[in-house]
Amino acid sequence: MSTTSETTASGRSLTAETAPFWSDVDRHMVRYGPRFSPEIIVSAKGSRLRTDSGRELLDFTSGQMSSILGHSHPDIVATVSSQIATLDHTFSGMLSRPVVELARRLADTLPAPLEKTLLLTTGAESNEAAIRMAKLVTGRYEVVSFSRSWHGMTHAAAAATYSAGRRGYGPTAPGNLVLPTPDSFRPDFRTADGEFDWRRQLDHGFALVDAQSTGSLAACIVEPILSSGGVVDLPVGYLAALRDKCHERGMLLILDEAQTGLCRTGDWYAFERDGVVPDIITLSKTLGAGLPLAAVVTTAAIEEAANDAGFLFFTTHVSDPLVSAVGNTVLDVLIRDGLDTRAVELGERLRTGLRALQGRHGVVGDVRGRGLLQGVELVIPDDAAADPTTLDRLGGAVTTRCLDLGLHMNVVQLQGMGGIFRIAPPLTSTDADIDDGVAMLDQAIAEVAGESGLV
């Protein structure tokens, strides 16, 4: 490697070897969100990423919140190698044993009457299919979701997404209505004791929904823990009350468990804590452990009604055997290694470490979440009305410093929420991984807050 380097304003280290790569990036890559990381990733194993420059980064986001078994898990590697040499892809109307096996096994992990599965590729696609199914079965078209929701960038999923991506694209699908996000840290309704009054907020939200509805309410789609919306865990009891509001109006309740499903929260599914069974559940990220696999799971009655009405969701990679085999292996590893229990243990260790940071740093305003999906919200001490852009800059600076130290962190990359970190290490992380990550975050916060005069 060349010893002569230049660091650009974006943090890229330019050498004779890397300059052509970044030139190609600037010339040929479509930018699809926040700026690209300044590191060139060349390999990954377990909880560690390795860069072109030889650096090692601790991955505290499981890739795109997906790689719950870490990177290059040996069981996944073996399954991909074997399956791609045997049966990789089929015509969409054909079925194979890995597909049907995965559908059966997913039903075994879910409470009755959830037993019918459609296997797809991404979270947006699974949410698209679920919304399409709900509209067809109910004969209605209106869809309700949270004000800080993120359900994907395809048509119906994007229309139900309010946290970002709405401006500049023209009209969304008609009939999309919004509920206020039940954020306990920043409550908009309070009880006489000053606590978050989520029941009154929910009543108010549905009063607004009812006022705007044309009488065609089809479905409500929500995450049990809003992830991109700032790791907002629904209050205990909220989900049951929401289900009742939906069913009173003849709506289907769709739960998007893209990031919370399959043991990340310590339960197999986040909705289990509340004892609520949705009408439809969507899975994605964690199901493929980093590979493109998603699912829609619903009841036999809803599936039959959809089929009778002519449900159509014929896509190129529906029921693909390669990723379905991977999904079966993911279930194997989760069960064999007791990773639901491990997520509880590691989650407690992570939360204890983050709570300690909250005690040491005035800029850490809140720690929240479940299991290995935790959120840290930064604040400006003694300034409840701090400009959100200031928090965005603070979060960005801490993220950059973490990367310098060897920790890949994910600040919520949405305007006004850049002071909230999403922390989601792999379920296969070691105790040392958790401790190392917390230590690097501790150092980054201390240095950035100190430089900003916030300590």
Catalytic residues: 150, 223, 256, 259, 285, 422
Phi, psi of 144 (to 5 degrees): -110, 135
Kindly give, in sequence order, each residue whose CB lies less than 8 Å from that of residue 51, ignoring residues fewer than 6 positions away: 39, 40, 41, 42, 57
Handedness of CA 8, 12, 13, 14 (dihedral sign): negative
